Amino acid sequence: MSSEMSTGTSRVKRGMAEMLKGGVIMDVVTPDQAKIAEDAGAVAVMALERVPADIRAEGGVSRMSDPDMIDGIIAAVSIPVMAKARIGHFAEAQILQSLGVDYIDESEVLTPADYSHHIDKWKFTVPFVCGATNLGEALRRLTEGAAMIRSKGEAGTGDVSNAVTHMRRIRDEVTRLASLPADELFVAAKELQAPYDLVAEVARTGSLPTVLFTAGGIATPADAAMMMQLGADGVFVGSGIFKSGNPAERAHAIVQATTHFDNPDVVAKVSRGLGEAMVGINVADIPVHHRLEDRGW
């Protein structure tokens, strides 16, 4: 072992995600919101210009946030700050790394910049989190260098059903893989469109090699508790907090429900008196071409 300090290793990238486990990462658009999130017990904030609900309402091309706005949020809090880059937009990712964000979300919530290729994440010192609707997609993102996976949901809706579908699917596919005899893993890799070595590793360990968070449509403490019971390691909450009637209280409640997800008495207690939840949109009412789950390949 040399006495050098090695930065950007897989161990520090994946390890960072391990330290976020059991926590809530909250979307914020201003330094004030970031402070509210930190005070409520968020483990990190996601700095962005518009929360998904507004992106949905306003339409247009959605891009990386203004560096001034990200700087403002970094200056406001002591907890980690994440930010989103468009799928495939490596130059946005380079900018975010130079700003000193702690994690980059290569996110389908923004308008994709490349309809064939995701970012080559191995080239970066900063770690990346990517969304996935199934195990194959998760393994392809890990192959490109992602250090953390989140199941995709339908962000900006307050409808948790897609997050549930994708979390269950990933979990079921991992379980299935772990039950296969070794000689069937070659075809499994072909079907999953993922490298054999990674497929064999998941089959052997019975889990993803990285942390798996959930995201998209989580709006209540009960939503968070449900996703944790379904096997999520932690929770991203986007529009659900700052589009609700009482953000500070709701943020606080979702943090507690995420920790005590297996204790219904606690989840019941923190669910009281939170005021209006975000209004919400049913996923079924969104035209198929406006749905986010199909972004990413």
Partner 1 sequence: MVTRTTIGVLALQGGVREHLVALDLCGVSAVPVKTVEQLDLIQGLILPGGESTTIIKLASQYELVEPIKERIRSGFPVFGSCAGMILLADHIEAGTADQETFGGLDAVVQRNAFGRQTESFETPLRLDNDMAPFPGVFIRAPLVMSVGSGVNVISTIEGGAYAGRVVGIEQENLMATAFHPELTPDLRVHHRFVKMVNESQW
Contact yes or no for 206/136 (Cβ under 8 A): no
- Contacts made by residues 33-36, CB under 8 angstroms, sequence distance 24+: 33/242, 33/247, 34/73, 34/76, 34/77, 34/81, 35/76, 35/77, 36/247, 36/248, 36/251
Indicate the SS3 state at residue 223: helix
Indicate the SS3 state at residue 267: helix
Indicate the SS3 state at residue 56: helix
Question: Does 84 participate in catalysis according to the annotation?
Answer: yes
Residue 14 CB partners (closer than 8 Å, separation 6+): 127, 147, 148, 209, 210, 211
Measured from the CB atom, the residue of 76 and 283 that comes closer to partner 1 is 76
Q: State the virtual CA torsion across 151, 157, 159, 160 in degrees, nearest 10.
A: 20
Measured from the CB atom, the residue of 134 and 259 that comes closer to partner 1 is 259
Minimum separation from the CB atom of position 263 to partner 1 (A): 8
Q: Which of 84, 121, 152, 243 is catalytic?
A: 84
Minimum separation from the CB atom of position 78 to partner 1 (A): 5
Reading the block at residue 74, the tokens are 């970094």
Binding-site ranges for partner 1 (CB under 8 A): 1-9, 11-12, 15-16, 18-23, 38, 41-44, 78-80, 97, 100-103, 125-127, 255-256, 259-260, 263
Paired strand residues for 130: 106, 149
Minimum separation from the CB atom of position 133 to partner 1 (A): 25
Measured from the CB atom, the residue of 194 and 212 that comes closer to partner 1 is 212
Measured from the CB atom, the residue of 4 and 197 that comes closer to partner 1 is 4
Minimum separation from the CB atom of position 186 to partner 1 (A): 29
> Do β-strands 128-132 and 212-214 pair in parallel, antiparallel, or remain unpaired?
unpaired
Measured from the CB atom, the residue of 13 and 152 that comes closer to partner 1 is 13
Give the H/E segment covering residue 148.
Answer: strand 148-151
Minimum separation from the CB atom of position 77 to partner 1 (A): 8
Reading the block at residue 284, the tokens are 């079924």
Residues annotated as catalytic are 84
